[in-house]
Amino acid sequence: MEISLRKPGMIPRVEALLASFTLQQLKDYVLVDKALGVAEEMDGRYVSAYLDYHRFTTGILVRPLWKQCKDYVVGKVGQLVERVYVRRYFDPRLRDEISGEMFVRLREAFRQMILNKEWLDGETKRVAEDKLERMRLLVGYVDEIYNESRMEFTYGGLDLHEGVYLRLFGRKLLM
């Protein structure tokens, strides 16, 4: 629960509200509030119970912390994550060999479709062919993840090491 004391007349209302509870109820509230604050970081049983409680009391569906963390990491260092994944699971030679052949055939099929459409005028066909030439092959990953200077420029000052999240989590516990 959050209470803003900036509004005039709130302090007497808060005092009246607090007086309506026993000391034990207030202690229980503080304990539950702190427990809920760290429940997301505990094992699956606690996370599930916390998400159910939050959904029941607020009507708001909260995404599990691991999904929030994954989205945060991918959002901040997505190309680094992509690079690690691609190096582990993709063979660039196969990507270029198989996808490249298919891409060439698709591009030629589109070119023939453009040329064979009698209802397209010459200018429209030229614009469509120009667009077709700019079409890029994007299968598996973007080539920029292997551009060392771009990766250094984007992520060069990033300091990633074990324990960073744990320190942030520790601060959350103390709040």
- Compare 9 and 121 and report the one with higher pLDDT: 121
**Structure tokens that stand for 16 in this block:** 């009246």
In this predicted structure, the answer to whether residue 153 has a pLDDT above a threshold of 50 is: yes
What token pair was written down for 122? 């010459």
Dihedral of the CA atoms 88, 155, 142, 72 (nearest 10)? 80
pLDDT of residue 114: 92
The pLDDT tens digits for 20-57 are: 999 999 888 888 878 777 766 677 777 777 778 778 87
pTM for the model stands at 0.40
Query: How far is it between the farthest Cα atoms of the chain?
Result: 85
pLDDT tens for each residue of 73-132: 777 788 888 888 888 888 877 777 777 788 889 899 999 999 999 998 999 999 999 999
pLDDT at 126: 93
Distances (CA, A) of 69 to 40, 64, 75, 147, 171: 11, 9, 10, 26, 17
